[in-house]
Amino acid sequence: MQRILLALFCLVLLPAARAGTEVATVPMEVVKLGPHSYFVQGQSGAASSANEGFMSNAGFVVTRDGVIVFDALGSPPLAQKLVGLIRTITRQPIKRVIVSHYHADHFYGLQVFKALGAEIWAHRLAEGATRAEEAAQRLAQRREALFPWVDEKTQLLEADRFVEGDMDFEMGGLNFALRHVGPAHSREDLALMVKQDGVLFAGDLVFRGRVPFVGDADSRSWIAALDKLIVLKPRVLVPGHGAHSRNPDVDLVFTRDYLTFLRAHMGKAARDLVPFEEAYARTDWSKYRAMPAFDEANRMNAYNQYLRLEQEATAE
């Protein structure tokens, strides 16, 4: 009897051992979006010990031939917790993980899925991202901020397959549209549409209910990418952060219009040689000022876009 109990105890501990010694305790719940599509919603705010790095969303789709996961979350313990939730819904093998982009909160859990035999897909422009100096610096920062959930056992895994651009594929009777929508939030942005469910996993291309983080992204390409997603006419949209939407057009259009507003006002100021501080003070931000993340993101967005648009004006 003791041997049997010991064996059962080891089986319980095995998933945690694969992910590292720590177990994620942050609350995580599965939300059903359609007959085959689900997601978990990260908490608001930056990655911290309070949320254990769970500040981004991840989705999964159950087909009759296996499970497709969209994004791997921000640590191995979080990914292991997601696997446990998937197992409450299906025993189908996890066949594939599609990475929307190689920012830490979206791919640090990959090693858990890799250990289960899943194939990792990402866009070709992400190739080498894990070997860049910036990636090493971010990992060091995360190991300090998110220890013990991110530690010396956390691996930065590249994709097994790099896709070159848009592609449609089928698995287990379901049809998927994979779309390259970068350079926008990142060069390698991917979005995934589950056609039968009308569910669009948009990654960080769409920020819902808050001011987006734009930084020095190519806002012109980002606007074009949003137009590309609007054409898909999704019934449900899952952003990279925040709640899902059953009125996707509103959220897609909001993000597009915010970017258009930035480009119009900061671009005109740059072309007219108006100093940034003066241009920012003159701009009427009242439409966005009361929204979450305005104080954290808007000024930085405006400044970085001012610099980018200044360069664009010089190049013309």
SS3 274: coil
CA nearest 112: which of 73, 165, 140?
73
Tell me the per-residue pLDDT of 244-290, one tens digit each, with 9 for 90 and over: 999 999 989 899 999 999 999 999 999 999 999 999 999 999 999 99
Crossing angle for the helix pair 2-19 and 76-87, to the nearest 10 degrees: 120
* Percent of the chain with pLDDT strictly greater than 90: 78
d(CA 73, CA 80): 10
Report, in angstroms and rounded to the nearest whole number, the Rg of the chain calculated over CA atoms. 20
Q: Per-residue pLDDT averaged across 212-230, rounded?
A: 90
- Please determine, for residue 17, whether its predicted confidence score (pLDDT) is greater than 80: no
Is the omega angle on the peptide bond into residue 183 within 30 degrees of 0, that is, cis? yes
User: Which residues, 6+ apart, have CB-to-CB distance to 250 below 8 Å?
Assistant: none
- pTM of this prediction? 0.86
Tell me the per-residue pLDDT of 172-194, one tens digit each, with 9 for 90 and over: 999 999 999 988 889 999 999 99
Query: What is the structure's pLDDT at 216?
Result: 83
Tell me the per-residue pLDDT of 109-138, one tens digit each, with 9 for 90 and over: 999 999 999 999 999 999 999 999 999 999
Q: Per-residue pLDDT averaged across 62-70, rounded?
A: 98
User: Which residues, 6+ apart, have CB-to-CB distance to 176 below 8 Å?
Assistant: 61, 68, 168, 169, 170, 192, 193, 194, 195
Could you tell me the two tokens for 54? 């769970």
Query: What is the structure's pLDDT at 19?
Result: 43
- Please determine, for residue 316, whether its predicted confidence score (pLDDT) is greater than 80: no
Domains of the chain by residue range? 16-207+225-246
Alpha helix locations (H) across 27-103?
Answer: 76-87
H/E stretch holding 175: strand 174-180
More confident residue, 49 or 21: 49
Check: CB of residue 61 under 8 Å from CB of residue 68.
yes
Q: DSSP per residue over 94-107, as a string?
A: EEEEE-S---HHHH
Could you tell me the two tokens for 7? 């064996």
Return the CATH fold of 16-207+225-246. Answer: Metallo-beta-lactamase; Chain A (3.60.15)
Query: What is the structure's pLDDT at 14?
Result: 43
d(CA 282, CA 306): 14
Tell me the per-residue pLDDT of 82-105, one tens digit each, with 9 for 90 and over: 999 999 999 999 999 999 999 999
Name the least confident of 58-62, 66-70, 82-86, 183-187: 183-187
Under DSSP, the state recorded for 126 is G
More confident residue, 206 or 77: 77
Q: Which residue has the tokens 């696997």?
A: 83
Could you tell me the two tokens for 164? 């070159």
Q: DSSP per residue over 105-143, as a string?
A: HHHTTHHHHHHTTPEEEEEGGGTTGGGSHHHHHHHHHHH
H/E stretch holding 282: helix 276-282
Q: DSSP per residue over 146-167, as a string?
A: STTTS-TT---PPPSEEE-S-E
